[in-house]
Amino acid sequence: MDRARIIVSFPPGDVIVEGDENIIYRVVLTERRFKQRKDTKILLLKEAGNRLQRYQSGESIRFDLPVEEKVTDFQNDVWNAVKKIPYGEVRTYKDIANDCGYPRAYRAVGNALSMNPFPILIPCHRVIRADGSIGGFTGGLIWKRFLLCLEDENKDR
């Protein structure tokens, strides 16, 4: 199967979604802007791009697209808990650890989220520190702040 990508521009930079006809392999958040953009004919990637554009316009979007999840049971538990965080809301690393049945594993939760190859689709940006600070993010803090603000501004739509 041919792998392809679609690029969606957001204010902080470009979102690159890579996949094929059946599965998304990864999502990359970058502060770069890519000049050359090939339009893909792969329907799954077109759908991902469409959902990202609607999300960016403030819609609460379900990103229930097929993704390649080669993860441990613990990572799977963490990612599933994160997927349940409602649009415009946040949880702490400790909340997620409790939801997964590992109340002391909040640092391990952070590590599991740092390995999330599907930011936005698996909304790890919605997880913050217990003291209210935003913590880290694979896509960078500019992206995390942007995504949290986007959802906060549109949560009552």
* Cβ-based neighbour number of residue 51 at 10 Å: 20
Q: Which of 7, 124, 128, 147 is catalytic?
A: 124
Q: Which three-class secondary structure state does DSSP give residue 93? A: helix
CA distance 118 to 79: 10
CA distances from 87 to 16, 82, 107, 156 (A): 21, 11, 23, 10
> 124 an active-site residue?
yes
Partnered with residue 153 across adjacent β-strands are none
Query: Catalytic positions, please?
Result: 124
